[in-house]
């Protein structure tokens, strides 16, 4: 999952959608099971309480209906350790008892209350296991007094049944939540599978290729509508990209002819020699600007033709030194106007396989940068290294700005040093495009490297069948 920007520009870390859906599904399942467990617990407790109350009423009625002179032993008890019967006087003293209850089950105040009507109580009674539920009621006694019949039942069985339900729901609920989470994860994964397929396809989409776009699921749901919207947007981007490419290519073609005519007229005026020193300086400056415009038009044309897969190349067998010399001859007049030299060095002239037109274009961009921004001699050199050939263009100028090297080969990248003034920032980007189209690379020589006193040096490494270092 890609991170989204948060406050202050910091990335916001979030969980994947499938994990969040699984967590939501598990939380909903837990709430449902908790609600069901609470309902069952309360309903079962009410039913068990009703059953206990019914037995206590029946036992109390049996005590009230016993024949005169018959002891409480006549009243049946389910379990003498969990149930009891007592007859109390109005003062709360025990007159008769059955079961294991020790002492009066009610205090005198509750006994007096029970003498006037029914009384339900839950409390612990000595001699009876666990808490007891008690029913007390008045009963006519000897001498016209009102005694109290007390019947009680231990709630151990009820509590054990309720505890069993709680344990069963806790254990079974945990298993159910885990199983439901696993099922929910699989469902979320299956539901998001079309999105994942679109994501993987989006990694391969190119604006320059007219393919079918993102894959769409068969179901006409929200995911399909999202894919259709993205495909429509991709189509619009491709159309815009193609219109921009055609415009840049056409504009570059149209600019080359008038620039060449203007340059020819300026050179003719300069060669005529019938102008003063100030006019000569102006003509030289105008010629330099024409060279920059011509280079810019050529760079724009290359940029327009360069796709995401690189520039098309037509390799042929060539030797490095004649290639460098041809570049030197092309810029010799321009260097002479500024009283500078272009020097070619290098001893190993074994052939390599490359596109000469593209290499001349890349080297020309480097020489153009050196003449415009550098100082001293421009040195073109070649050497064998790392299973390939390294071509270098170096000068003695101010060099590149600190920290500019990592982005030097990006389109429209320009530094802040004096070397970066002017230009559109396309020259080094085209150098890298030419190098990568040949399976090589373009680099800037690090500052302070042995054998270099300063300035800038840009290298193009091209393989000749050996491994890439």
Return the pLDDT at 3: 47
Return the pLDDT at 461: 92
Q: Residue 376: give its domain's CATH number.
A: 3.30.565.10
Q: Which of 107, 135, 155 is the last residue of a domain?
A: 155
- 321 & 451 share domain: yes
**Which residue positions in the chain have pLDDT lower than 50?**
1-9, 11-12, 416-423, 450-451, 466-469
pLDDT tens by residue, 316-336 = 999 999 999 999 998 888 888
Q: Domain for residue 199, yes or no? A: no
Residue count (the chain): 469
Q: Residue 91: give its domain's CATH number.
A: 3.30.450.20
Give the residue from 299, 286, 377, 295 showing the smallest Cα distance to 332: 377
Q: Which residues pair with 88 in a beta bridge?
A: 94, 148
Are the CB atoms for 388 and 461 separated by under 8 Å?
Answer: yes
Return the pLDDT at 299: 65
Query: Structurally, how many domains does the chain consist of?
Result: 3
- 403 & 281 share domain: no
Q: Which of 273, 300, 327 is the last residue of a domain?
A: 300
This prediction's pTM: 0.50
Q: Which two tokens stand for residue 24?
A: 């939501």
Return the pLDDT at 300: 66
**Secondary structure string (H, E, C) spanning 259-290:** HHHHHHHHHHHHHHCCCCHHHHHHHHHHHHHH
Q: Which of 300, 335, 350 is the last residue of a domain?
A: 300
- 296 & 322 share domain: no
What is the residue range of 88's domain?
A: 72-155
Return the pLDDT at 260: 76
Return the pLDDT at 38: 93
Return the pLDDT at 363: 92
- 286 & 376 share domain: no
């Amino acid at each position: 999952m890609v991170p989204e920007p948060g406050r202050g520009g910091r990335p916001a870390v979030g969980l994947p959608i499938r994990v969040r859906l699984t967590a939501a599904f598990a939380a909903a399942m837990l709430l449902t099971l908790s609600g069901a467990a609470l309902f069952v617990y309360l309903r079962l407790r009410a039913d068990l309480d009703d059953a206990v109350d019914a037995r206590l009423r029946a036992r109390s009625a049996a005590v009230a209906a016993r024949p005169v002179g018959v002891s409480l032993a006549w009243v049946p008890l389910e379990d003498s350790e969990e149930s009891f019967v007592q007859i109390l006087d109005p003062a709360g003293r025990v007159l008769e008892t059955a079961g294991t209850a020790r002492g009066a089950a009610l205090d005198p105040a509750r006994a007096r209350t029970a003498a006037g009507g029914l009384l339900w109580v839950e409390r612990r009674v000595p001699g009876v296991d666990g808490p007891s539920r008690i029913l007390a009621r008045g009963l006519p006694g000897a001498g016209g007094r009102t005694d109290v019949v007390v019947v009680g039942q231990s709630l151990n069985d009820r509590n054990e049944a309720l505890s069993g339900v709680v344990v069963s729901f806790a254990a079974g609920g945990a298993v159910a939540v885990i199983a439901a989470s696993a099922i929910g994860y699989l469902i979320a994964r299956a539901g998001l599978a079309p999105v994942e397929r679109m994501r993987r396809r989006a990694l391969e989409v190119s604006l320059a290729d007219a393919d079918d776009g993102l894959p769409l699921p068969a179901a006409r749901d929200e995911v399909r509508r999202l894919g259709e919207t993205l495909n429509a947007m991709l189509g619009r981007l491709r159309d815009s990209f193609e219109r921009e490419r055609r415009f840049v290519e056409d504009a570059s073609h149209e600019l080359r002819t008038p620039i060449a005519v203007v340059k020819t007229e300026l050179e003719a005026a300069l060669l005529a020699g019938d102008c003063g020193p100030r006019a000569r300086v102006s003509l030289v400056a105008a010629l330099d600007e024409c060279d920059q415009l011509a280079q810019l038009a050529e760079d724009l044309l290359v940029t327009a033709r360069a796709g995401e897969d690189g520039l098309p190349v037509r390799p042929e067998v060539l030797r490095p030194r004649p290639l460098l010399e041809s570049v030197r001859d092309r810029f010799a007049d321009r260097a002479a106007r500024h009283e500078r030299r272009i020097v070619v060095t290098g001893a190993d002239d074994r052939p390599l396989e490359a596109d000469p037109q593209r290499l001349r274009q890349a080297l020309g961009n480097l020489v153009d940068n050196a003449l415009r921004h550098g100082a001293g001699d421009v040195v073109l050199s070649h050497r064998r290294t790392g299973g390939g050939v390294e071509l270098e263009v170096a000068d003695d100028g101010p060099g590149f700005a600190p920290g500019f090297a990592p982005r030097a080969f990006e389109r429209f990248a320009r530094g802040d040093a004096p070397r970066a003034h002017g230009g559109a920032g396309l020259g080094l980007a085209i150098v890298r495009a030419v190098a990568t189209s040949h399976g090589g690379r373009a680099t800037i020589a690090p500052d302070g490297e042995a054998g270099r006193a300063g300035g800038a040096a840009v290298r193009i490494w091209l393989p000749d069948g050996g491994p890439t270092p």
